[in-house]
Structure 1
């Protein structure tokens, strides 16, 4: 019983500690996926791949993460300037951790290439993500 309590407490602590990273990841995915005006099935599938591939995100229910993604997408569609600003604020929270910042750029690029094309609108969102993180996209292309 004590071991189960420790495990539950450890998972709860990990979720709390990693919540800003989850939010930044889903904001990044949304910014790039909706850049061309619609989220393709391949982009949604790539979001699922991101959730499966990153250990720090495994503490979260996939539905919770997808709901965050959808919330950002809906906000960007409803009010593009305000929605993008809010998503970039979530991303900006990771600017003080170089590893997290680089991971977000890699995620942005993965989403942008999910459907085989790296559109100018997607590139612009990747550049915006890099700007708020203090990075240069050219270093990751």
Structure 2
């Protein structure tokens, strides 16, 4: 199986698992951590170009699990996290990882946030090493072994 197909299958599997837990994923901490994760993956290489920002925003708007929240609220939070990361990537990353880390007390939410990162990273069929590294850091922030997600 080609690498492209494995990445696509992995992202689809993660999304299916997320959909199964949709009713458990309604807290503000999950909402905030999910948007932080989306921004972090979008900025994995240290910058966010407008087309990448639009692609991630589109994925957020169509994600079944994230439909638990108002789309305009998600968009605002995503944009705020993107702004933090583009203003000063290293400092913004610390802040964003702290937000993600708040879900560590609830393993279902923590795993879901990591899965969202993988879904967003793999949506273009190229979950590259930089994106994998960012999601790996998020795993440490929530107290989950990256190996659980083959990272």
TM-score (norm 2): 0.73
The one of 139, 142, 145 aligned to 1:136: 145
The one of 60, 78, 86 aligned to 1:47: 60
Deviation per residue, 1:66-120 (Å, 9 max, x gap): 1100110111011111111111111111001110111011101001011111112
SS at match of 2:105: coil
Equivalence for 1:3: none
SS at match of 2:103: coil
Which ranges of structure 2 fall in alignment gaps of 5 or more residues?
1-25
* Paired residue total: 121
TM-score (norm 1): 0.78
Rg (Cα) greater in structure:
1
What stretches of structure 1 move > 6 A for 4+ residues in a row?
A: none
Deviation per residue, 1:45-73 (Å, 9 max, x gap): 222233xx117x52x32111111001101
**For the aligned residues, what is the CA RMSD?**
1.7
